[in-house]
Structures are given as structure tokens and as C-alpha cells.
Amino acid sequence: QVQLVESGGGLVQPGGSLRLSCAVSGNSFPIYVMGWYRQAPGKQREMVAVITGGGSTSYGDSVKGRFTISRDNAKKTVYLQMSSLKPEDTAVYYCKKFSGSLGDWGQGTQVTVSS
């Protein structure tokens, strides 16, 4: 089973930036479709960004123009660069490998945007 380990979360002021990383096990990382999701307290988990093996990307409407997803196939890592952060970006951020009906998920990393 593929293991995903997120890192890079923390406390940041509004308007600040943060970069999340997700290290992925497995020998076929370059073909994996990977994504970042988030879940705020009392809310459903929502898609933040997705990147295909070929590098095509898509974003949730609330983060377009502020967040960038990327991947380093040599390091088997996917990143989420977050800029112009807002308090409403506060959530637990999860990394996902798309597979089957449920996919594989990391344990999550907390991002808190507050002054």
C-alpha cells in the first residue's frame, strides 16, 4: 500500500505564504494522479488542487490564483504552494493519491491562518 506523509503546516498570518509537502512511497509515482484536499471544522472535505502525471492541474474556485500544486518525480513528492492566505484557508490539509473508489490518503497537516 502506498504511504503518504504530509509536512509543512503551521500558523501563518493573513496574507502570508506556506508550502506543504507530501512524500509518497511506491515505485510508480510519475504516473500517479495526486491531489490536495482540506477540511475545516464542521465542514465537508473539499478539493483544493489536483495534478496529473503529465503535469496538468486543476484548482478549487476558492484557491485559484493563490495556490499552486506541483510535483517532483525524482523526489516522489507533491507540493502545495499557498500564498495570500486568508483565515478561511484554515483547515487540515490532506494529500491524496487517486486510486480505486477511495484513493490513498495521508494523515493530514494543520494550517492555521490567524493574526
User: Taking the chain (115 residues) in consecutive chunks of 10 residues, what is each chunk's mean pLDDT?
Assistant: 94 98 93 96 96 96 98 97 98 95 93 97
* Predicted local distance difference test score (pLDDT) of residue 111: 98
Quick one: pLDDT at residue 47?
98
Q: Given this model, what pLDDT does residue 101 score?
A: 81
Task: Write the DSSP symbol of residue 81.
Answer: E
Q: What is the pLDDT of residue 99?
A: 86
Output the pLDDT for position 56. 97
